[in-house]
């Protein structure tokens, strides 16, 4: 990996994406900071620090993303690190100001209450869009036999947060996507790393950015409103510092600081809270397996005549 890396980061107008850009620039790396057209003005600070700016909407069609990738590669001659920063938000800002590259968009409400359009929009912005962005840049990394694809994920992949079911599903799917992609890319010298972020103090939970609860089915009113209040109360109480989280990501990608000389795995937890959540999930999973071990292992074929159903 070259001493000076070239990063392309989606969603740099605020939050973790912005801090990642600042952290990478501070290491002497080159950064291409991206956002949708309506949020490009928020990138002025990054430009002043030395970042190149590029308009990019992760939900755009693949052929457009391929043209953007070609333009991005021409800026510095290559892309070493592609950061899919699509996992910051449990709530979207008002619809007319949504920047799909500033973090994940959430259809907020219980699963049954979400329309097919809500569901498709959620998966397009949080998962399928970043996947297409990755498809657009991978040919350049494979050709050079070098590169890293970064996925900024979330504790939501391991939790069962009422009103955020679709969001949690996109984050869980992103883990497996990254892991399989990492295996597929190994022969080409390219890696895929999923960073599992906990709750960090970014602008995403500011009360003025939160929409009304999307609640239509009366039967869910009580439970939906209860969880709505609990989630909105998170703002200002998140344990994670965005600057410190960004430094961890840059350390891991560059193999510096606490990551120097260590094996880099294809998933990495970032945040004291997410460590506890994942640990509890692993313990609970092992207990479920052990509790049902006899039943689970009772279904194997025992003679040649079994297993052939009409």
Each residue's pLDDT tens digit, 124-176? 999 999 999 999 999 999 999 999 999 999 888 888 888 888 989 999 999 99
- Beta-strand pair 30-35/190-197: unpaired
Model confidence band, residue 86 (pLDDT cutoffs 50, 70, 90): low
Which strand ranges, in their side-by-side order, compose the sheet holding 81-84? 52-55, 30-35, 6-9, 81-84, 147-154, 190-197, 267-270
How far, in Å, CA of 133 to CA of 97, rounded?
22
pLDDT at 216: 79
Buried b (16+ CB within 10 A) or exposed e, 235-252: beebebebeebbbbbbbb
Please check whether residue 305 lies inside any domain of the structure. Answer: no
Q: 116-123 vs 165-185: helix axis angle to the nearest 10?
A: 40
Please check whether residue 108 lies inside any domain of the structure. Answer: yes
Please check whether residue 182 lies inside any domain of the structure. Answer: yes
Model confidence band, residue 90 (pLDDT cutoffs 50, 70, 90): very low
How far, in Å, CA of 86 to CA of 125, rounded?
8
Is the separation of the CB atoms in 215 and 255 below 8 Å? no
Give CA 283 to chain center in angstroms.
24
Distances from the Cα of 211 to the Cαs of 199, 238, 252, in angstroms?
Answer: 19, 20, 35
Please check whether residue 302 lies inside any domain of the structure. Answer: no
Please check whether residue 202 lies inside any domain of the structure. Answer: yes
Model confidence band, residue 15 (pLDDT cutoffs 50, 70, 90): confident
**Each residue's pLDDT tens digit, 238-251:** 766 889 999 999 99
At residue 101, does pLDDT exceed 50?
A: no
Top pLDDT among 304 and 40 is at 40
Mean pLDDT over all residues of the chain? 86
pLDDT at 26: 97
Number of neighbours of residue 48 by Cβ within 10 angstroms: 8
Give the pTM. Answer: 0.88
Please check whether residue 32 lies inside any domain of the structure. Answer: yes
Q: What is the mean pLDDT of residues 119-127?
A: 92
Domain span at residue 83? Answer: 6-93+102-290
**Each residue's pLDDT tens digit, 259-286:** 999 999 999 999 888 999 999 999 999 9
Q: What is the DSSP letter of 5?
A: -
Which CATH number covers residue 57? 3.40.50.720
Model confidence band, residue 305 (pLDDT cutoffs 50, 70, 90): low
Q: What is the DSSP letter of 245?
A: H
Q: Which residues are catalytic?
A: 167
- Quote the number of domains for the chain: 1
**Each residue's pLDDT tens digit, 213-241:** 667 788 888 887 777 777 677 766 676 68
How far, in Å, CA of 298 to CA of 166, rounded?
34
């Amino acid at each position: 990996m070259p001493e000076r890396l070239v990063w392309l980061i989606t969603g740099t107008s605020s939050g973790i994406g912005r801090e990642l850009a600042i952290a990478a620039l501070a290491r002497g790396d080159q950064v291409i900071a991206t956002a949708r057209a309506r949020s490009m003005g928020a990138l002025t600070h990054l430009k002043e620090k030395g970042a190149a700016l590029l308009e990019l909407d992760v939900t755009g069609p693949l052929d457009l993303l391929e043209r953007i990738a070609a333009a991005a590669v021409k800026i510095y001659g290559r892309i070493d690190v592609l950061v899919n920063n699509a996992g910051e938000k449990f709530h979207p800002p008002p619809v007319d100001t949504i920047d799909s590259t500033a973090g994940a968009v959430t259809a907020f409400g219980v699963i049954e209450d979400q329309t097919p359009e809500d569901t498709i929009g959620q998966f397009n912005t949080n998962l399928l869009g970043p996947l297409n962005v990755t498809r657009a840049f991978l040919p350049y990394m494979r050709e050079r036999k070098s590169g890293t694809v970064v996925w900024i994920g979330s504790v939501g992949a391991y939790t069962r947060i009422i009103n955020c079911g679709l969001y949690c599903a996109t984050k869980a799917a992103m883990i497996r996507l990254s892991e399989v992609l990492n295996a597929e890319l190994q022969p080409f010298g390219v890696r895929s790393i999923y960073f599992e972020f906990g709750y960090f103090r970014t602008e995403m939970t500011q009360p003025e950015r939160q929409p009304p609860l999307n609640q239509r089915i009366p039967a869910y009113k009580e439970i939906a409103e209860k969880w709505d209040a609990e989630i909105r109360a998170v703002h200002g109480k998140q344990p994670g510092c965005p600057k410190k989280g960004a430094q961890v990501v840059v350390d891991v990608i560059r193999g510096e600081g606490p990551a120097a000389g260590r094996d880099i795995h294809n998933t990495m937890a970032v945040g004291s809270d997410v460590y506890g959540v994942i640990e509890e999930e692993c313990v609970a999973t092992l207990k479920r397996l052990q509790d049902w071990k006899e039943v689970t292992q009772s279904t194997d074929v025992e003679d040649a005549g079994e297993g052939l159903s009409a």
